[in-house]
Structure 1
Amino acid sequence: MQSYYFYLHPEAQHIFVQKQKLQDAEPEFIWLDCTREDVVNRPEQWQQEVFNTAQLWLNEYHLRDILNLDHPCAFDTLDDYDLLIFRKLITPDDEIKLDSSAVEKHERMFGLATTPISFILTPQLLITVREQGNKDIERYLQRIETVLTRSIDEHHKPRKLPSTPLDLSLRLLNTMVDGYLDLRVPLTKRVEYWQQELLQGHRRFTKWHQLLQENMAFQQVENLCEEQIETMQELRDEIVDNYSHLKGKKRSEKQDIMLVRVDDLSSHIERIQKHTTRLRGAVQAAIDLHFSAVANQTNENMRILAIITAIFAPLTLLTGIYGMNFEFIPGLKSPTGFWIMLAIMCMTTLLLLYYFYRRHLVGRGERSVIDMLAQQQGDQHMNLLWFMDYEPIKATVKGTKKTLKEIEKLTTRP
């Protein structure tokens, strides 16, 4: 567990940070950064350390929620503190080592793994409980360590330090959500890969199991974003309804600034959710095109088989007739009967091929649907005013003409 004490500079009126508590100053707030190993191995001792540092005793059920690896995103508030559980998507940069069975379960079911991060908020205290190897939190800790190497007067350069636990929590959440935006490029490349695999025509597509896992991974990201948006909305409602409980009575930070940051955080999550939805739609469109191409190829194969069957059907009929076991068949004893029958069969084949050629079934490609409809329209010679011969319509037209004449008489009457 690491402790950071944030103080207000007495002269410059900016926030500076220290790792040890100063004897002659009261901290604005304290940040206790804990890993899950600090809590799960000795929960009672950890509770006592938190109480000794900030005079805060956590609820037993909240402690169980913090230790639950599968707990969804949630926000709960009590009189003493607020609890925010935010599930973070494990990115390739993270070095989080979860339980192997849990990781295997997530990867088998969804293809992606997430980890919860707990924020315990009071006006004077922020407690974070995370996994070891969370790069987003560790990068922010490195920034704090870099600030500690400077003098107190330069702690607010180049960027100001957070002034409240809520401000620090939103900054940490924003760092994690911004990391999701970097996943858009690899996710888009994965979708392009599946589009190429689905729309290739030189071999049959057989990777349906992997594609199903990819689709479930996109669904998991959407569900995760939905949970995060709902949690951020609950936090926003708490800021609107009870902001003094979060910032403390001595603080003068404006409520609108916190609301803008929460809205900005929610908008980032919504961008990720919409992007993932578009990618899922692209994969589904590629699947539909794949099945359409397969159906079109099947129809083409059936068309060719139907043409071959139509060509050989008359030939099969002729051979069947002259293959019957009758004693007297015309031309059976003729020395030229075979050649005459062969010529008739060839003529029949040529005539059928010519007919199919004229109908655009072989040789010149299929006729388009528009051309076929145009041909049917030309063959029917439809009269566009045929419906005027319908008796009820005739009566309606006559009644309309009569009404128009009566109106004309009334308007022209002096």
Structure 2
Amino acid sequence: MPETPNASAFRVFHVRPGGPAHELFELPTAPPDAGFFWIACTRNFLNEHLQHVQATLQAVTGQQLVDLHVSDLLNAQLPSHYDYTSQYDLLVFRRLAANGQQSSDSATAPADGEPPPPGPFKGTPTLRRIRTGAVGFVVFDPLLFSVHPDDCTVREAYAARLLALKTPVAGGVPGQPPAAEAPNSKLPQETRQRDLRAGPITAPRMPTSPADVMLRVVNLIVDGYLDLRRELSRQLDHWQVELLRPKARSINWTALLESRLALHQLDEICEDQRTAVQDWIDALEGWPTPDTSGGVRENELLRVRSRDVLEHIERVVHHVRRLEQSAETAVQMHFSLQSNRTNDIMRTLTALTAVFLPLNLIAGIFGMNFEFTPFVHLKEGFWWALSAMLLIALALILLFWRKRYLARTGQS
């Protein structure tokens, strides 16, 4: 192993109670004196330096990863799931790939090991974002070990948040004034002023355990799916407008089918996520009750945060299923409208045919080759016949109009 591996391949953070988090620039070789470590590496780094990583885990926690769990962490197409041993807990969670592109370590398959569809994706731009990559978390007592795709923005986003935290608990230390606002805060000026008018600012709470960090990162992943809902709704509304447009002539049915398949895939991803988080919550309920009141409170906060993550996933699942139903309803309404338009056309043509049938009958009668036919030899016979045909036609048109045989159904 090189002495100075790529800095983006792994990041190490030391989180201590009562103080801010610090980033280390090399893998630890001993358990922390206080607090815990968070080691976040890429999948390629774990694959290339597996022995060194196992040695680090042995030195810090006294335990190495099981071979099957190493395979799970290296598998980019693994669905979300939860597993555990007597020494650690393992959670694999799928996150949205950045910018709608497939993760660099899973470019050969979109999600859950399924091969990509042939040809370019013709769905809506938002549905192109439904490409996911697996993120693995291993929770020890003094350490959180996470494995991310090479282009994982979630790790960098939460690392920036973690390093920006300045207080260990919400609202500051009891008996001390609230912490001042960080000078590099990126909140808009009007937002900060509104918070000041509403009351004192509560500083973000420093994570208290490796499980707490894992849940916060998982919550950040789920927030990406929540942000996706509005764009999905807007673009599915566009499909509905196109399907229900009266003069729609060319519908890209291939794109619509691929979009519906993408929604179904998102539903399956969220179902796996919900099952994994529910299994984690069930395992959390079996943890022994701490002896101290602080430990009891930390466990309660973990349960609350876990249930919050589960509730966010359920909101995504509910929204995706509603979008699937809306798309299906729009397709059915489209074909129903097409059938109604066809019925209108056939009704109009039938009414017009009925108008001309008596006229054809009169013309056929006076076209017979008989020597003695009434009105044939009269000077005004042609005009009498033409007037009768016009009166019959007008009467039938008026009758059909009153019965709405020639009227269109109420469509815009």
Q: Same fold (TM over 0.5)?
A: yes
Is residue 2:43 matched to residue 1:3? Answer: no
In 2, the alpha carbon distance for the partners of 1:8 and 1:332 equals 115
Identity of aligned residues (%): 28
- Bigger Cα displacement from structure 2, 44-53 vs 19-28: 19-28
Aligned pair partner of 1:118 in 102, 126, 136: 136
Is residue 2:398 matched to residue 1:354? Answer: yes
The structure with more radius of gyration: 1
Matching residue's letter, 2:295 = S
Change (3 A) 1:26 1:249: farther
How far 1:198 sits from its partner (Å)?
Answer: 1.8
Aligned pair partner of 1:142 in 157, 160, 163: 160
Matching residue's letter, 2:215 = L
Matching residue's letter, 1:81 = Y
Matching residue's letter, 1:105 = P
Is residue 2:285 matched to residue 1:240? Answer: yes
- Bigger Cα displacement from structure 2, 287-296 vs 55-64: 287-296
SS in structure 2 opposite 1:105?
A: coil
How far 1:141 sits from its partner (Å)?
Answer: 1.4
For residues 323-366 of structure 1, what are the alpha-carbon distances to aligned partners after superposition, in whole Å with 9 as ceiling and x for unaligned? 45x5546248625454444333223223322322443434xx47
In 2, the alpha carbon distance for the partners of 1:235 and 1:24 equals 25
Aligned pair partner of 1:170 in 215, 218, 223: 215
Count matched residues: 356
For structure 1, the residue ranges without an aligned partner over 5 or more in a row are 369-414
TM-score (norm: length of structure 2): 0.74
Aligned pair partner of 1:252 in 295, 299, 307: 295
For residues 237-288 of structure 1, what are the alpha-carbon distances to aligned partners after superposition, in whole Å with 9 as ceiling and x for unaligned? 00112356xx899982433222111111111111222222333333333333
2:356 is aligned to 312
In 2, the alpha carbon distance for the partners of 1:333 and 1:178 equals 88
How far 1:72 sits from its partner (Å)?
Answer: 0.8
How far 1:294 sits from its partner (Å)?
Answer: 1.9
Is residue 2:275 matched to residue 1:216? Answer: no
For residues 118-143 of structure 1, what are the alpha-carbon distances to aligned partners after superposition, in whole Å with 9 as ceiling and x for unaligned? 01112222110001222222112123
1:376 is aligned to none
Aligned pair partner of 1:64 in 71, 78, 82: 71
Change (3 A) 1:102 1:360: closer
1:378 is aligned to none
Contact 1:15 1:160 in 2 (8 A): no
1:334 is aligned to 377
2:333 is aligned to 289
Q: Which structure ranks higher in relative contact order (CA pairs < 8 Å, sequence separation ≥ 6)?
A: 2
TM-score (norm: length of structure 1): 0.74
Contact 1:95 1:135 in 2 (8 A): no
Structure that is richer in helix per residue: 1
For structure 2, the residue ranges without an aligned partner over 5 or more in a row are 1-9, 174-178, 180-202
2:89 is aligned to 82
- Bigger Cα displacement from structure 2, 160-169 vs 326-335: 326-335
2:34 is aligned to 27
Aligned pair partner of 1:345 in 369, 373, 389: 389
2:227 is aligned to 182
